[in-house]
Chain A
């Protein structure tokens, strides 16, 4: 089965750029999306089709996907961005989630 690997945690200082990676075999050949989940809340879509932002998502969120790695980048990270982030891609008819990355803003 297809697997997506994320680092368990990433730390960033306020105002700096945070990068969260998601790795999978030939991941660049698939669309990747990213979800943000704050404690006690439901996931929220922040990036779809590798690099598109849904309406209402700040411009500081961006995405890329090439080779075996997709990256979620948060520029000018704010305290409100502290959350768990999950990447997701498809393995035929099955959506696959990465294990999640806890982003700490300190």
Chain B
């Protein structure tokens, strides 16, 4: 069974940093590209970042470019999101999602971890 388990969320002050993790199991993690998608309270889904299987290709949403860094450790079956210079508008539930190719759709999602940016 595919499992994605996020962790690392919490309350942080504006300007602070946080590192999210996503532990993958039940599939060959190194064979899949991965993404972070977030959802602000009461709002819709917003894509945040993408990383290819080897980490050679990385993309970010304009809203987080220069502040967030995605990475992965295939040996540890883990995905990460380093978030710096956090803003109020970064408050959201952050999901990691497995991307299937071809078709480029997200077939598995974690349960999400809540990040709250507030003073």
| A interface, CB within 8 angstroms of B | 31, 33, 35, 37, 42-45, 48-49, 54, 86, 88, 90, 93-100
Residue from B46, B104, B112 within 8 A of A90 (CB atoms): B104
Q: Which of B45, B46, B112 neighbours the largest number of chain A CB atoms within 10 Å of its CB? A: B45
| B interface, CB within 8 angstroms of A | 35, 37, 44-47, 50, 59, 61, 95, 100, 103-107, 109-112
Contact residues in B for A31 (Cβ distance below 8 Å):
103-105
Residue from B50, B100, B105 within 8 A of A88 (CB atoms): B105
Main secondary structure of the interface of B (DSSP, over half): strand
Contact indicator A48/B47 (Cβ below 8 Å): no
Q: Within the assembled complex, what's the spacing in Å between the Cα atoms of A104 and B58? A: 38
Contact residues in B for A43 (Cβ distance below 8 Å):
37, 45, 95, 106, 109
